[in-house]
Amino acid sequence: MNDLSQAKTFDEFMEGIWRQNPVFVMVLGMCPVLAVSVSAVNALSMGLATMFVLVCSCGLVSLLRKLVPKEVRIATYIVIIATFVTVVDYVIQAVSLEIYDALGAFIQLIVVNCIILGRAEAHASKHPPIAAMVNALGMSIGFVIGLFALGAVREVLGAGTLFGVSLFGPNFQPWVVMVLPPGGFIVLGAWLLLFSALKRRQEARLAAPGGGHGA
């Protein structure tokens, strides 16, 4: 297991970003995705917090994988994930109270984010630490991209700014709906539409004669 070729590692890394993107393909962890993607900064900090928890807990789960008996593995994973969520909670408070207030309960709720438990159970518990962390990193980058895609669109339309920088001048008319919950669903729907259209085209190209190697 330890002599993973570089290509395989890269594949593991890319899995979460494209093929199994947690937001656009697996549609997991929708609760934070919809709730905190009101602005690009919120979305990005939520994504980074999740990334920290995901990578650290996958690393630790993978380290302990031979030690933990099957019967108590879920309990162990939850304890580990909860630990890192608490750490992230403290760190965000220390870094910026504004972000902490904006993210609210959703920082603590990272603990129930199914992406993390799913990765710990499906991948980290079966792979060595490096591979597990690479895969977790890919997944969380995919999650950050998803969150950012939503947050950017909602902030641009909902406030006329991106990262707090005004894009359209002072006379911009904000689309109130975009910072309200329905806006999250509508923008997510639009992204899913785009993503699946892209995927379908890619598959059609591969399926076309001469496009790929066999069906």
Partner 1 sequence: MKASVEIRSAPHIKGPRSVEQIMANVVYSLLPICAFFVYQYGLSAAASILVVTAACLLTERAFVRTGTQAGSLSDFSATITGLLLALTLPPGFPLWMGAVAGISAIALGKALFGGIGFNVFNPALVGRAFVQAAFPAAIATYTPSFLPGRFTEFIPSSLAWPLMAPADTAAWLKAMQYDAMASASPLARWKFEGFVTPAWDLVTSLAGHMAVGPSPLLIVLCGAYLALRRFMDWRIPVAVLGSAGLSALIIYAAFGTKYPDPFFMLFSGGLVLGAVYMATDMATSPVTPRGMWLYGGLIGVLTVMIRYYSGLPEGVMYAILIGNAATPLIERVTQPTPFGKGASIHARKSASYTMHPDYISREEASAKTPKKRFLKNKPKKT
Partner 2 sequence: MSTPIAPTPPQATPATSLVKTLGLVSTVCGLIIVGAYQGTYDAAAANRRLALERTVFKVIPAAKSMAEWQATPQGIRPAGGETVPGALKFYVAYDAEGVLAGIAAEGAAKGYADTVRILYGYSPVCQCITGFGLVASKETPGIGDKIVTDKAFLANFEALDVKLNAELSALANEVKVVKQGTKTKAWEIDAIAGATVTSRAVGKAINDSAQLLLPKLAPDIGKLQKREP
Instruction: Give the interface with partner 2 as residue ranges (CB under 8 A).
Output: 20, 64, 67-72, 75-76, 79-80, 82-84, 86-87, 90-91, 93-98, 122, 158, 174, 176, 179-180
Q: Rounded to the nearest whole angstrom, what is the least distance from the CB of residue 209 to partner 2 in the complex?
A: 28
Q: Is 166 helix (H, G, I), strand (E, B) or coil?
A: strand
Buried b vs exposed e over 76-100: b needs ≥16 C-beta within 10 Å? bbbebbbebbeebbeebeeeeeebb
Cβ atoms of 119 and 139 within 8 Å: the answer is yes
Q: Which 144-173 residues touch partner 1, going by CB under 8 A?
A: 160, 168-169, 171-173
Contact pick of 49, 131, 144, 178 for partner 1 (by CB under 8 A): 178
- Contacts with partner 1 by CB under 8 A: the residue count is 13
Q: Which residues pair with 166 in a beta bridge?
A: 161
Task: Select the binding partner of residue 171 from partner 2, partner 1, none (C-beta < 5 to 8 A, by kind).
Answer: partner 1
3-state secondary structure at position 92: helix
Task: Map the footprint of partner 1 across residues 1-30, applying CB under 8 A.
Answer: none
Residue whose CB is less far from partner 2, 9 or 83: 83
27 binds, among partner 2, partner 1, none (CB under 5 to 8 A by kind): none
CA dist 63 and 60 (Å) reads 5
- Give the span between the Cα atoms of 153 and 161, in whole angstroms: 10
The site partner of 172 among partner 1, partner 2, none (C-beta below 5 to 8 Å per kind) is partner 1
